[in-house]
Chains A and B, each alone.
Chain A
Amino acid sequence: MFSVINSEWYKLRKSKVLFLLLVAPLIGLFIGLANSSIEIEEINAWHEKLVMMNFTYAILFLPLISGVLASVICKYEHQEGGWKQLMALPVTRGKVFLSKYLLLILLMLAMQLMYLVSIYLVGVIEGITDPFPMDIVWKSIFGGWVATLPLIALQLWVSIAFKSFAAPFAINVIFTLPTILVINSERFGPYYPWGQPFLMMNIGGSTGDVFFVPWDQILTVVGSSFLIFFIGGYLYFQKKAI
């Protein structure tokens, strides 16, 4: 199993797209710095930064970048008979699928951590003296990551299904853009996969829970959509003609 992930990491690393992981945290950093003039009355100056930064990061860049990475990790398999070559090696399809998925979610975790660094840097540069709200930030960082798990499973599924690079990308953009509207809907907001990262990262949700979203909602929405997308993609790949 480790050898398969290692091989996947090798192929992805050489495709020179990993710089994308820096893009979102950097943009977060700029947004954090750019809006320094606005003063909102807050208990803690960090909160203001978090609200601003999380918005674009979680709604736009997080789902877009995870989608691009999912496409890339399949692109070179689609291109010149890569699937054929890979599946003629002594490795099961299940392991290949799982390896690609695990690699993607690990990379997204890395991106979340870099975003955490961005948040901290903004504070340092702006000279925020309030105590760093570690618990809140962790909720946001880790919760946002958990919320991307089903989304990445879906993106991987779509990327395996479409030979072209453009198709999964277009689909991802089409579903990412309306997120701003959908999350404001009480009825659909909690169930929209692309909206989950924002809902989970948005501070100021219910603070009593482990995450900013109530447990039962995490379990039902994130948990069940993860199961549906992961199992769906897994089975699809098992049956796919190569």
Chain B
Amino acid sequence: MEYIVETKHLTKSFGKEKAVSNLEMKIPKGEIYGFLGPNGAGKTTTIRMLLGLMRPTSGSVQLFGKDMKNNRIEILKNVGSLVENPSYYPHLTAKENLEASRKILNVPKKRIDEVLQQVRLHEVANKKVKGFSLGMKQRLGIAAAMLHQPELLILDEPTNGLDPSGIIEMRQLIQSLPEEYGMTVLISSHLLSEIDQMATRVGVVSKGKMIFQDSIETMRKFAQASIQVKVNDNEAAWRSLLANGQKADLEKESVTLQAEDDEQVAASIRYLVQLGFSIYRVQEEKRSLENIFLEMTKEEQAG
């Protein structure tokens, strides 16, 4: 498979501490990759290395199949980024900020108005950025990242400081990028809900290590609901189910079915009814992604 981003054994140490440790990130073309991890997990450090702002202690970074070490300029022509807090020149207006980058990127002037329109800053285009709210600065940062229509967009916690409606807009904008422009997007966050709503692939990082990396669907499978059944005699029901080949766990006051799909649930219930059990309740218990995420992180910490 062809990866837009591929890191191999990527490691960064600050003194004795490893902020990023043997990280193998793989992002296929056209995906929205959610880079998820708690604060201090090493997301920003990883992104800095992806952009060549920081040299890895060991390991390598490849973007578009080219090694960052020897092709930095060529690679960066196709990358737009927003790293940590929004960066800007306070003495310039929104438009002038973009103009300063545009001169280096060598793109047509009309791109400035286009991106300002995209992030809805066109009405304050001629105002000094100094007076902008954090959300507006964040949006300006995204506009700057999209100025040259890069193939890869790297956004480090882009919804920080946005209000709820701003977050929704941002999400819609980001989700439209792969389809409309064929972009690949890397977006980092410490909020699972955010990634869950945008990403098509997920990488979970904890203490500098990648502890999960797969499609969002696979991640959601972890979160598959289990079915709780409460009957007059839970233990007898549990034995019968097991004897019938249905995976189940006996809880204190119920039996939990590990059903693959709805039909299996229906079959098991029908079976219990036929055996004459009184069924009091059948309810679904969803494991939230937050839980899974916590569990993953915990496992890593224990291990």
- Report which A residues bind B (CB closer than 8 A): 3-4, 6-7, 10-11, 14-16, 76, 79-82, 84-85, 87-92, 241-242
**Nearest CB in chain A to that of B91: its residue:** A15
**B53 and A84: CB pair below 8 A?**
yes
**CB nearest to A83 among chain B residues:** B87
The answer to whether A81 touches B105, judged by C-beta atoms less than 8 angstroms apart, is no
Task: Collect the chain A residues with CB atoms within 8 Å of residue B89's CB.
Answer: 11, 76, 79-80, 82
> In the bound complex, do residue B73 and residue A6 qualify as a contact, i.e. CB atoms below 8 Å apart?
no
Known: A14-B96, A16-B91, A90-B105. 9 other contacts (CB 8 A): A3-B106, A4-B104, A6-B103, A11-B92, A76-B90, A76-B91, A79-B89, A80-B90, A242-B54
A-B contact count, CB below 8 Å?
Answer: 77
Residue B99 at the chain A interface, CB threshold 8 Å: yes
| Most A-side CB within 10 Å, residue of B73, B74, B87 | B87
Cα of A14 to Cα of B144 in the assembled complex, Å: 19
Which chain A residue lies CB-closest to B75?
A90
Contacts of A89 in B (CB 8 A): 76, 101, 104-105
| Cα–Cα, bound, A6→B102 (Å) | 11
Q: Give the docked Cα–Cα distance between A241 and B12 (Å).
A: 13
CB distance from A80 to the nearest CB of B (A): 5
- Interface on B for A, CB 8 Å cutoff? 48, 51, 53-54, 72-77, 79, 81, 83-92, 96, 99-101, 103-106, 144
Q: Is the CB of A7 within 8 A of B103?
A: yes
B144 touches A85 (CB 8 A): yes
Min Cβ gap A102→B in Å is 15
With A11-B92, A80-B88 in contact, do A88 and B81 touch (Cβ < 8 Å)?
yes
Instruction: State whether B87 touches A80 (Cβ < 8 A).
Output: yes
The answer to whether B100 and A242 have CB atoms under 8 Å apart is no
Complex Cα distance, B54 from A82, in Å, reads: 15
Residues of B contacting A79 in the complex (Cβ-Cβ under 8 angstroms): 89-90
What's the nearest-Cβ distance from chain B to residue A15, in Å?
5
- Chain B residues with CB under 8 Å of A7's CB are 100-101, 103-104
Complex Cα gap A80–B53 (Å): 16
Most buried by A among B76, B84, B86: B76
Distance in Å from the Cβ of A144 to the closest Cβ of chain B? 30
Asked whether, in the complex, the Cβ of B104 is within 8 Å of the Cβ of A81, the reply is no
| Given A14-B92, A90-B73, A85 and B87 contact (CB-CB distance below 8 Å) | yes
